[in-house]
Amino acid sequence: MRLSVSALLLASASPAAAQAPKCAADNAGWTLPKGFCAVLVGDSLGQVRHLAVAPNGDVFAARNPSRNGVPGGVIVLRDTTGDGKADVIATFFAGAGGSGIALAPDAVYFAPNDRVLRFPWKPGALAPSAPPDSIAEGLPAGTGHTSKGIVLGKDGALYVSFGSATNSCQGAGDRRPNVPGDKPCTELEQRAGVWRFDARKTHQKPADGRRWATGLRNPMALSLDPATGTVYAGVHGRDQLSENWGWPAEAGRENPAETIFALTGGTDGGWPYCYYDPRRKQMLENPEYGGDGTKAGDCDQRSQPVLSFPAHWAPNATLFYTGAQFPDPYRGGVFIAFHGSWNRAPAPQEGYRVVFAPFKDGKPVGTWETFAAPAGEPTSIRPSGLAVGPDGSLYIGADANGKIWRVVYRRE
């Protein structure tokens, strides 16, 4: 049951989300490793994007407006009965859509496409305690990759992703066949990177921030490794190597890799000049800049990804696991939510899953593996957000599905 708007503020500020819920017999549509199960927290939620979970177990979701009229803004889901399902759902800042969300002890940060807002918040509340402050504004939007990922750093910083306006910096015509790329690509001055701002200062413009990383086409999947304080970005690679440059279908389908970069204040991921070939495991030149699928040029001098994944899977969220509920191999590692491909035809589309990659001492170790995949048709769930709850549960959101799930581990 969902409470009415008038009843929301009367709801208990002590939800029962810390209790272990009874999972769905079919894991609510997921295939999970042995020992794990899932429950559907909420559905018909609209286009939920990134997630965050408060210390009391309330789930916060950024939301874009949906085609069926569900507005954007922020939704808050609360479970007061302990069955794992949200029976209280509140909304605020309805209308303007956005993807990025982050929680501080006294605030909720929300990122519409052109700004980042800071809502004052009291623990256990279902609504902000005052109107928002504008932390960063005038951010690039309007064309291209406009969704903003955000993450709070350990040093009082707010990191914000600025996606590129184009596929490969073709100033004479984006995504047109055989059109060279601009060199230098002046787009990099304002986009295709991650900017660092002061998380408490208001009315900052991009020029007031620091370009923390560049050469990242669409780095919206930001996360913080709390063990080291390093910010990581999952990056969407470029498209249309076959369609625009006549490369063999397989070469365009399997390139470029989707990548994860560690951002250290001077990271240069190489876009638009370079891409990462997952088979050769090296940076190569893009065809807009003379590449033929074999030439590295000076791309080996760019920053190298710490992880790579199959092409076009679209990493929409990353999360370092900080809980204690899951077994030891998961602790300190990173989960990645892949939204899934649209451009692998004529081969089947792929992605549409959550994967896990182990980390040790701030570095990836071993190999990644699929953690959660749709139990039915492979493209039936399109993950878009991740968060860890205070009890160590993993929350997964999917925008095209309008759903949020909670994954728990049953100790045997």
Q: How far apart are CA 157 and CA 135, in angstroms?
A: 11
CATH number for position 346 = 2.120.10
pLDDT at 412: 57
Q: 354: pLDDT confidence band, cut at 50, 70 and 90?
A: very high
pTM: 0.95
pLDDT greater than 90 at residue 10 = no
pLDDT greater than 60 at residue 383 = yes
pLDDT greater than 80 at residue 1 = no
Contacts of residue 298, defined as CB under 8 A and 6 or more positions apart, other chains included, come to: none
pLDDT at 7: 36
Does 244 reside within a domain?
yes
Does 13 reside within a domain?
no
Does 38 reside within a domain?
no
Does 183 reside within a domain?
yes
Does 44 reside within a domain?
no
CA distances from 353 to 58, 60, 387 (A): 24, 21, 15
pLDDT at 15: 62
Q: How far apart are CA 88 and CA 68, in angstroms?
A: 22
Average pLDDT, the chain: 94
Q: What is the mean pLDDT of residues 251-258?
A: 95
Does 397 reside within a domain?
no
Phi then psi dihedrals of residue 329, to 5 deg: -60, -20
CB 137 within 8 A of CB 114: yes
* Cα atoms in the Cβ-side hemisphere of radius 13 Å centred on 187: 30
pLDDT greater than 90 at residue 345 = no
Output the six-digit token pair for 153: 């750093």
Q: How many domains in the chain?
A: 1
Task: Provide the domain limits for residue 373.
Answer: 101-387
Look at strands 193-198 and 403-409 and give their pairing.
unpaired
Q: How far apart are CA 124 and CA 395, in angstroms?
A: 19
Q: What is the pLDDT of residues 104-149, one digit of tens each?
A: 999 999 999 999 999 999 999 999 999 999 999 999 999 999 999 9
Q: 69: pLDDT confidence band, cut at 50, 70 and 90?
A: confident
Does 181 reside within a domain?
yes
Q: What is the pLDDT of residues 172-185, one digit of tens each?
A: 999 999 999 999 99
Q: What is the pLDDT of residues 77-114, one digit of tens each?
A: 999 999 999 999 999 999 889 999 999 999 999 999 99
Does 79 reside within a domain?
no
Q: What is the mean pLDDT of residues 225-242?
A: 97
